[in-house]
Amino acid sequence: MRSTLGRLARYCGLSALLLTVVALLPQAAGAANAPTIREGATGYWVSLLQRDLTDIAYSLPVTGNFGSHTRAQVNAFKKARGLPADGVVRSPWTWDALRKAVRVEQRRPWRRAHLNRQGLAVAPEDAPVVVKRVIAAANRIAFKPYLYGGGHGSWNSPGYDCSGSVSYALHGGGLLWRPEALFYSYGAPGGGKWMTIYTNSVHAYMSVAGLWFDTVAQEWGSYGHGDRWSTTRASPASGFLVRHPTGF
Asked if 119 and 237 sit in the same domain, the reply is yes
Between CA 141 and CA 47 the distance in angstroms is 31
Contact between 32 and 16 (Cβ < 8 Å): no
Asked if 89 and 58 sit in the same domain, the reply is yes
| pLDDT at residue 60 in the model | 92
Between CA 236 and CA 179 the distance in angstroms is 23
Structural domain span for residue 77: 33-106
Q: What is the CATH number of the domain that holds 195?
A: 3.90.1720.10
Asked if 222 and 164 sit in the same domain, the reply is yes
Query: Considering only CA atoms, which of 127, 131, 76, 66 is closest in space to residue 98?
Result: 76
Its sign, for the CA torsion 232, 234, 194, 80, is negative
Asked if 127 and 240 sit in the same domain, the reply is yes
Asked if 99 and 120 sit in the same domain, the reply is no
Asked if 163 and 64 sit in the same domain, the reply is no
Q: pTM (2 decimals)?
A: 0.76
- What is the per-residue burial (b if ≥16 Cβ within 10 Å, else e) of 138-160? bbebbbbebbeebbbeebebebb
Asked if 176 and 122 sit in the same domain, the reply is yes
| pLDDT at residue 220 in the model | 73
CA dihedral of 93, 96, 99, 100, whole degrees rounded to 10? -110
Asked if 53 and 161 sit in the same domain, the reply is no
Q: What is the CATH number of the domain that holds 74?
A: 1.10.101.10
Q: Kindly give the confidence (pLDDT) of every residue in the chain, 248 residues in length, as a single tens digit, with 9 standing for 90 and above.
A: 433 333 333 333 433 333 333 333 333 334 558 899 999 999 999 999 999 999 898 999 999 999 999 999 999 999 999 999 999 999 888 999 999 999 998 899 999 999 999 999 999 999 999 999 999 999 999 999 999 999 999 999 999 999 999 999 999 998 999 999 999 999 999 999 999 999 999 999 999 999 999 999 998 766 667 899 999 999 999 999 999 999 89
Question: How many structural domains does the chain have?
Answer: 3
| pLDDT at residue 32 in the model | 55
| pLDDT at residue 10 in the model | 34
Asked if 120 and 57 sit in the same domain, the reply is no
